[in-house]
Amino acid sequence: MSEQSTGAPSRALPVVAVVGRPNVGKSTLVNRFLGRRAAVVQDVPGVTRDRIAYEALWNGKSFTVVDTGGWEPKATGMAASIARQAEYAMKTADVIVLVVDSSVGATETDLAAARVLRRSDRPVILVANKVDDERGESNAAELWKLGLGEPYSVSALHGRGAGDLLDLVLDAMPEAPREAEPVGGPRRVALVGRPNVGKSSLLNRLAKDERSVVDSVAGTTVDPVDSIVTLGGEEWRFVDTAGLRRKVSTASGTEYYASLRTEAAIEAAEVAVVLLAADEVISEQDQRVITQVIEAGRALVLAYNKWDALDEDRHHQLEREIDRDMSRIAWASRVNISAKTGRGVDRLAQHLRAALASWETRVPTAELNTFIRTLVQGTPPPARGGKAPKIKYVTQADVRPPRFVVFSTGFLEAGYRRFLERKLREQFGFAGTPIDISVKVRE
């Protein structure tokens, strides 16, 4: 049996988060994982080095490594800061690696991180770093007291134990990466878009109804990363908005960091609002953000902001741009807003609800097959090399987002798969969500 796919959302890679105090060797370890010297640890003043994600490959398995490096200059205190980091890792990662400097031993901050991570339902691997030789092993053993099981001794700098550690990380990884499961509470929304489209302005407008998220972690109040916002009579959790609330400088080099933050926010969310500036041409950078959402398989709402700044001419021009550049996501729901005047902002809620409903739609198998049978009778798959493939059966394998598997006697051409997607959408809706169609060939 072989497979093909529409090339629509591929499943996101499993995520390994590396957490720990500054200077324990997280970046050095991540570079080990990557097998090269990654040139990203660039310090632009005013930029918090926050959660840098890389794609890694070990023993034929790909995964994403997130270096949760960011240390905010503001004095919330180291222990609170690391607890926040650990909380975030628990929300978004499949495996968590806590790095401790064995030459220093367990500090108060390490203990605070360990306390948080002991609650994790994800595997946590404790790394005793800077064990450069045999003599260091006894320091490593001392870290049992963190209550996270066996400390795994490595030297990130010299590579000692790094290969074995990677095997361990891979073993701890789930078969399928974690999905955005409902964790209860408000639905999770990512507010994303290229710089200057108005994300901070929109958040500030929404935040007039904001209730602060007070996560009490072992007695410390953690600086919240998310904002709970009331919109359309309902509470929503806007994820990872810390960076939007306290705006970092837009000096050069930040775009890269912004895109990584976007990725983390999308991963943590169920639905993404991609904000666009209606008064400017839809750019490649806008398209990249949209692609990130689709590839992560999240529901999508397009919000055209700055509607107050539009004149008649630009309005017509924009409609033409949308027809031309947005046809690949004609299914996305669209709302016109102004963060400045508040126009349309309330309507965001209904768009979010609709997109989430589509994202969670499950079509009963019988209904699906009745529909497909009629469809295929009317328009059978075209013959390739003389013989036309026969579609035998279709099933919806998954939701969040909907994924369909078509069982067929032969490959289905891309054009025909797009036809199936279009018809499925016409029949069953799916406004606001990507859908995936894969084909399994059985002779």
Interface residues toward ligand GDP, by CB under 6 A: 20, 22-28, 69, 129-130, 132, 155-157, 193, 195-201, 244, 305-306, 308-309, 338-340
Q: Is 402 annotated as a binding residue?
A: no
Q: Is 279 annotated as a binding residue?
A: no
Q: Which is nearer to ligand GDP, 14 or 69 (CB)?
A: 69
Q: How many CB atoms lie within 10 A of CB 72?
A: 16
CB of 36 to ligand GDP, least distance (A): 14
Q: Is 208 annotated as a binding residue?
A: no
SS3 328: helix
CB of 151 to ligand GDP, least distance (A): 14
Q: Is 204 annotated as a binding residue?
A: no
CB of 37 to ligand GDP, least distance (A): 11
CA 46 to chain CA centroid, nearest Å: 25
Contact 192, 273 (CB under 8 A): yes
Q: Which is nearer to ligand GDP, 8 or 272 (CB)?
A: 272
CB of 26 to ligand GDP, least distance (A): 3
Q: How many CB atoms lie within 10 A of CB 170?
A: 16
Q: Is 139 annotated as a binding residue?
A: no
Q: Is 132 annotated as a binding residue?
A: yes
Q: How many CB atoms lie within 10 A of CB 229?
A: 24
CB of 400 to ligand GDP, least distance (A): 27
Q: Which is nearer to ligand GDP, 175 or 312 (CB)?
A: 312
Intra-chain end-to-end CA distance of the chain, in Å: 8
Q: Is 241 annotated as a binding residue?
A: yes
CB of 160 to ligand GDP, least distance (A): 7
Q: Among 9, 11, 58, which Cα is nearest to 32's? A: 58
CA 280 to chain CA centroid, nearest Å: 27
Contact 412, 380 (CB under 8 A): no
Q: Is 22 annotated as a binding residue?
A: yes
Rounded CA separation 224/240 (Å): 9
Q: Which is nearer to ligand GDP, 191 or 376 (CB)?
A: 191
Q: Which is nearer to ligand GDP, 50 or 436 (CB)?
A: 50
Q: Is 307 annotated as a binding residue?
A: yes
Q: Which is nearer to ligand GDP, 309 or 322 (CB)?
A: 309
Contact 103, 21 (CB under 8 A): no
CA 190 to chain CA centroid, nearest Å: 9
For 84, 166, 191, 307, the CA distances from 338, given in Å and listed in that order, are 32, 48, 15, 5
CB of 335 to ligand GDP, least distance (A): 13
DSSP string, 183-223: -SSSEEEEEE-STTSSHHHHHHHHGGG-B---EEETTEEEP
- 245 burial (CB, 10 Å; 0-12 / 13-18 / 19+) is middle
Q: Which is nearer to ligand GDP, 141 or 383 (CB)?
A: 141
Annotated binding site for GTP: 20-27, 67-71, 129-132, 193-200, 240-244, 305-308
Annotated binding site: 20-27, 67-71, 129-132, 193-200, 240-244, 305-308
